[in-house]
Structure 1
Amino acid sequence: MDDSAQPVVSFTQMKDGTREDYELLERFEKPFTAGTADRLLKELAMQADETLSGYRITRLEHGLQAATRARRDGADIDWVVAALLHDIGDRLAPKNHDRMAAEILRPFVREEVAWVVEHHGLFQTYYYAHHYGRDPEERQRFAGHPCFRSCADFCERWDQSSFDPDYPTEPLESFAEAVREVFARKAYDPAVIRAGEVLGLPPAA
C-alpha cells in the first residue's frame, strides 16, 4: 500500500466506525467546513453564465443587484449576505430554492434573516400570482408573524426591484469578504442567531 495515500476510515458501515475513524473524519471536516464561503462564491460565479429564460439579467446579476441595494440602504452584514445568496438554490432546487438558501444561511445569520429568506419565494408571488390565476395575497397566512413586515420589505425593496440591467451593480468580489466573515462564525451561536429578535430592514436610503 502507498504510504503517501490519504488515510481513510476502516468501516464500510458507519455503525462499525471506531473512535479513531471519527477523529480522522473530524480532522478532514474542519478545513472542508472552513471552505464553505469560497464554495458559495464559486457557485454564484457559475450563475454568471446562466439565467432563467426570459429575464433581462442573469441569476448572478440579480443576486448582486439585490445585495448592492441592501448595502446602499445601510443594511447590516446579515441582510447583505442574505440578499446576495437568497436565490443560491435556483440551479439545483428551482421549486424550493428559498428553503434551500435559508438552510445554507440559517446556522450563521439572525433567525429573522433566515426566516425571510425561507419565505421570500411565497411573498414574492404578491407581484405576479394574479397573472396565473392564483391568489397574490397568499402571504397573508403569515400576517401575524413577527417577521412578516421584514419579508414584505425585503421583497419590495431588494428582490422584486432587482431585475434592471441598467442598475449600477457592485461586483461579486466586493461581497467576498462579507460572505467569508458570515460563514466563519460559529454555527448556531446564540449571540448570532438572536432568537425572537426582529430588527426589520433599515430605512430606505
Structure 2
Amino acid sequence: MKTINFTQMKDGTKEEYDFLAEMEKPYLSLTVDRVLTELKNQGEDSLSGYKITRLEHGLQSATRAYRDGADIDWVVGTLLHDVGDGLAPQNHDRFSAEVIRPFVRQEVAWVVEHHGIFQMYFYGHHYGWDKNAREEFKDHPCYQSCADFCERWDQSSFDPEYDFETLDFFTPMVRDVFSRKAYDPKVIKENQVFGLPEPIFHKLS
C-alpha cells in the first residue's frame, strides 16, 4: 500500500489506519528538529525594539534556570517558553505549552501555559491592564512556581551583557526530552508540584 484509498475518514479501514500509524512514526521522530528550527528562526525573525533577539531571550532564560540547578524539564521548558511567538503571537504562551506538554511534567507545562498573564505583573499597568490578573490563579498549586519562573528566569532575561549558553549547549537536552514517550505518566507526574530550585548566585565571567 502506497496511499490510503478513503477520502473521508469515516470510510477508512483498520488496515489503512495501521498503515498511516506506521507512516507517522518517522514524522513524529522529527518533531524535535522542527522545534529546534523554529527556535533558530527566532534569532533572525524576531520582535523589534528589544536589545536582544527572541532566541537570545530563550537562551538567557534557560541559562539562568540551568545555573540555578533546575532539572531538565525546567531547563527545556524555559528554553521553549516563547517558541510559539512566531505562529501565535497573541497566545504564544498556550501555543508553547502545547509543544512541550507531551514530554515534560505537568507543572512545567502549566507554568509555560500561564506565564503570559503572570508576566503582566511587571508591565501591565503601563498599558492600562490589570497587573494583578494572575491573582485569578492564586489558589492553584502551580501559582508560586509560575510567579518564581517569571521573576527569576523570564522577566530578567533581556540583558545583552548576560553571559548565556549557546543553542548547541542546550540541544542535547531538548533531544533527550523530546525522545521520551509522549504523555508517559512517569514523566508527566500529574498533580505533583515541586517548585523551582533554590536560587544559586553565580559570578559571571
Gaps of 5+ in 2: 201-205
Partners of 2:178 and 2:166 in 1: CA distance: 19
Partner of 1:200: 195
Q: Within 5 A, what are the aligned runs for 1:47-66?
A: 47-66=42-61
Q: CA deviation at 1:16?
A: 1.4
Partners of 1:173 and 1:28 in 2: CA distance: 30
Q: Is 1:177 equivalent to 2:189 in the alignment?
A: no
Residue 116 of structure 1: which of 111, 114, 122 is its match? 111
Partner of 1:88: 83
Q: Is 1:162 equivalent to 2:160 in the alignment?
A: no
Would you identify which runs of 4 or more consecutive aligned residues in structure 1 move more than 2 Å?
Answer: none
Partners of 1:191 and 1:72 in 2: CA distance: 25
Partners of 2:40 and 2:127 in 1: CA distance: 32
Q: Is 1:42 equivalent to 2:37 in the alignment?
A: yes
Q: CA deviation at 1:31?
A: 1.2
Contact kept? 1:78, 1:113, Cα under 8 Å: yes
Q: Within 5 A, what are the aligned runs for 1:91-170?
A: 91-170=86-165
Letter in 2 for 1:182: V
Q: CA deviation at 1:19?
A: 2.0
Partners of 1:183 and 1:58 in 2: CA distance: 24
Partner of 1:3: none
Q: CA deviation at 1:145?
A: 0.8
Letter in 1 for 2:160: P
Q: CA deviation at 1:112?
A: 0.6
Gaps of 5+ in 1: 1-5
Post-superposition Cα deviations, 1:46-101, rounded to whole Å, max 9, x if no partner, equal 11102211111111111111111110111000000000000000011011000011
Secondary structure at the counterpart of residue 56 of structure 2: helix
Contact kept? 1:112, 1:196, Cα under 8 Å: yes
TM-score under structure 1 normalisation?
Answer: 0.95
What is the RMSD of the two structures over their aligned residues, measured on CA atoms?
A: 1.0
Secondary structure at the counterpart of residue 176 of structure 1: helix
Number of matched pairs: 200
Partner of 1:24: 19
Contact kept? 1:51, 1:57, Cα under 8 Å: no
Partners of 1:99 and 1:27 in 2: CA distance: 29
Post-superposition Cα deviations, 1:24-48, rounded to whole Å, max 9, x if no partner, equal 1111111111111111011101111
Partner of 2:203: none
Partners of 1:95 and 1:171 in 2: CA distance: 27
Post-superposition Cα deviations, 1:101-155, rounded to whole Å, max 9, x if no partner, equal 1111111111111110000000000000111112111101111111000000000
Identity %: 64
